[in-house]
Structure 1
Amino acid sequence: MATTSSTLKGGLLLGRVMHRRLQPLRRAFHYRTFSICFDLDDLSLLQKILCRFSPLRFHDRDHGGRDGSPLSAWIRDIFAEQQIEVSRFVLVTYPRLWGYVFNPVSFWLGLDEAGRLRGVLAEVNNTFGEHHSYLLAHADRRAIGKGDWLVANKAFHVSPFLPVEGQYRFRFHLEDQGFQADIHYLDADGAPCLITQIAGQRRDLNISSIWRAVLQQPFMTFSVVFFIHWQAIRLWRAHIPFHKKPEPLQQEISL
C-alpha cells in the first residue's frame, strides 16, 4: 500500500472544515478557515515571518505543556517513549489572529527521513479550557498508508451533545501542496455519529499571503468559537440529549 509521504514544510493552508452529524439528528455545516503548517526545526524562521507587521502570531504556550517550555523536546520525548522513529515534525494548527486563538484540534505529524508519516499526535482542546491528546500510530510502527484508518478510544469531553465513549477513526492525506484529515466519531455500538473533514491547500507563508487570507477572513479564529456555540444552540433547541461534563482527565495523552 502506498504510504502517506510529504515534503510539506512551512506554509499557509487555505481550506475548510466540514462537520456532518448522522444521529440522532442529521445536520451538516462547514466553514472556511486558514491555518499554518511548519517544520518544528523552522520555528525561529516562522517567528521572523510572523513579525510586527503580521496580525498572526504563534506562541509556544498554546501547545505542549502550556508553560512556554520548548516544544521540540516535549513532542520528541512523547514519540521516543512510544518507540515511534521519526526525523522531523510538522505542526498543523491555527495561529493567533489579533491575539486570539482557539484550536479544536492541532496535528503534530511525525515524518521519517523519507517523508513517510509514522505517527500523529492529535492535540484537542474543548471550550471549557481543557486539553487532551491522542497519539496515533500503527501497533507495529510501520509507515501510515494514505487509506489507513487509525483508531483511538474517545476519552475526552468535547461536546455536551456527545458522550465520552466510543471511538475516533482518523485518516490523513499529505501532499506537498495540501493536507487533509478525516475524523469519524463512532458510538459505543460502532455506529457512526459524526464525520469531520479538515482540508487545506498550501500557499507560501509570507506577509502578502497572510494579509490576503486575513482580509478575506478578518475574524477567522473568533468565528471558529462562534460556529461551535451556534451549532450547540441549534442542537439544544432540537432537544438533542445533553451530557454532563465529567471530571477532567488526569492523563494528558491517550495511546
Structure 2
Amino acid sequence: MTAVRPGLVDWAPTTLPALYDVQVGHRRTHPLENAFEYGGYLWLVDLDDLPRLPRGLRWAARFTAADHLGDPAAPIKDNVVRFAALHGVDDVARVVMMANARSGPHVFNPLSTHWCYRSDGSLACIVAEVHNTYGERHAYLLHPDDAGRAEAEKDFYVSPFNTVDGRYLMRFSGPGDQLHVTMALQVGGRTPFVATLRGRARAAGTGTVVRTILRWPLMSLWVAALIRWQGIRLWARRLPVVPRPPHDPVPGVSTNAPRQHSQHANEDRS
C-alpha cells in the first residue's frame, strides 16, 4: 500500500477479492442501555472483477444487482457509478464493495460500503447503502475528510425503536488489511446509538472461502436472527416502538429491495 502521513487514511484497498473477519458492536445508551457484539465475515470485492468461485461453491456466494441499489438488470458497478453521478460525483472509475454475498436464497446487508475511486486511484466518495427489513433501501453519498470522518442527516427508518431524526457521525478506514468503521447517531445533543465494525482481511482463495462458509453457514440469517433477539429484549424492556413513516427513495436507489430474509428484524439498529 502507498505510505501516508500519520493520522491520515490510506484509502488503497488490500489484495482483492478478500474476506474480512469482522467484529460488529452495537451500543444503545438512551433511553435505556443495551450493548452486544458478534463476529462473522464480509466480502471485499472489485466490482469490475467479481469472484469466480468453483461451480460447487457458487450457491454459497453470489453478487447480484437485485440485492443492491439501482437497476436490477444492470451491473452493480454501473448502478453505483450512476448513483454517484446523480449526486454530483461524475469521475468514478473503480468501485470496491464490502458486503455480504447471497448464500443460497438468502442475503441481508444492513450496510454495504462502496469505496469509489477516480482513475488516478484517489478516493472520489463513499456510498453507504443501508437496507431495512421492510423491503426498503437507502444510500448516503459521503465525502470523508483526510481522517476518514463524514456526516449525513439521517433520512431512513431502520429500527422500530428510533425515529428518522438525527445525524450520523461516521468514520471509515480504507478497505485495507485492517478495517475500522464507526457510525454514531446524534439526536438533540445525545448519542443514543453507536455501531462499530472492525475487520482483518484474508485473501479469498478457495480453501479460505470453504473454511469460512463452513464456520459461518448462512451468515445473513444468523446475523438477522441475533439482531431480532436483541430487539425482542428491548421490546420486553418496554422501549417504545416508533411507527414506520413512508419512504421516498433518493434518486438512483430503487423503491423496494427483494425481501430475502423473511422479515428478520433489525430492531436494535439505528
TM score, norm. by length of structure 2: 0.83
Instruction: Decide whether aligned partners of structure 1 residues 12 and 165 sit closer, same or farther in structure 2, where only a CA change above 3 A counts.
Output: same
Pairs within 5 Å for 1:192-207: 192-207=191-206
CA apart distance, 1:114: 5.1
Pairs within 5 Å for 1:49-128: 49=53, 51-54=55-58, 55-65=60-70, 67-81=72-86, 82-83=88-89, 85-113=91-119, 115-128=121-134
Instruction: Decide whether aligned partners of structure 1 residues 126 and 152 sit closer, same or farther in structure 2, where only a CA change above 3 A counts.
Output: same
Pairs within 5 Å for 1:1-255: 2-8=8-14, 9-43=16-50, 46=51, 48-49=52-53, 51-54=55-58, 55-65=60-70, 67-81=72-86, 82-83=88-89, 85-113=91-119, 115-137=121-143, 144-145=145-146, 147-174=147-174, 176-187=176-187, 189-252=188-251
CA apart distance, 1:64: 2.2
Report if the CA contact (8 A) 2:114-2:126 is conserved.
yes
Q: Runs in 1 of length 4+ with deviation above 4 angstroms?
A: none
Q: Percent identity?
A: 30
CA apart distance, 1:17: 0.9
Q: Which letter maps to 2:179?
A: F
Instruction: Decide whether aligned partners of structure 1 residues 94 and 27 sit closer, same or farther in structure 2, where only a CA change above 3 A counts.
Output: same
Instruction: Decide whether aligned partners of structure 1 residues 199 and 252 sit closer, same or farther in structure 2, where only a CA change above 3 A counts.
Output: farther
Instruction: Decide whether aligned partners of structure 1 residues 199 and 51 sit closer, same or farther in structure 2, where only a CA change above 3 A counts.
Output: farther
Cross-structure match for 2:263: none
CA apart distance, 1:192: 0.5
Calculate the aligned-residue CA RMSD, in Å: 2.0
Q: Which letter maps to 1:51?
A: R
Instruction: Decide whether aligned partners of structure 1 residues 129 and 66 sit closer, same or farther in structure 2, where only a CA change above 3 A counts.
Output: farther
Report if the CA contact (8 A) 1:134-1:253 is conserved.
no
Report if the CA contact (8 A) 2:128-2:142 is conserved.
yes
2:56 partner SS: coil
Which sections of structure 2, spanning at least 5 residues, go unmatched?
1-6, 254-270
Instruction: Decide whether aligned partners of structure 1 residues 191 and 253 sit closer, same or farther in structure 2, where only a CA change above 3 A counts.
Output: farther
Which sections of structure 1, spanning at least 5 residues, go unmatched?
139-143
TM score, norm. by length of structure 1: 0.88
1:199 partner SS: strand
Instruction: Decide whether aligned partners of structure 1 residues 252 and 245 sit closer, same or farther in structure 2, where only a CA change above 3 A counts.
Output: farther
2:69 partner SS: coil
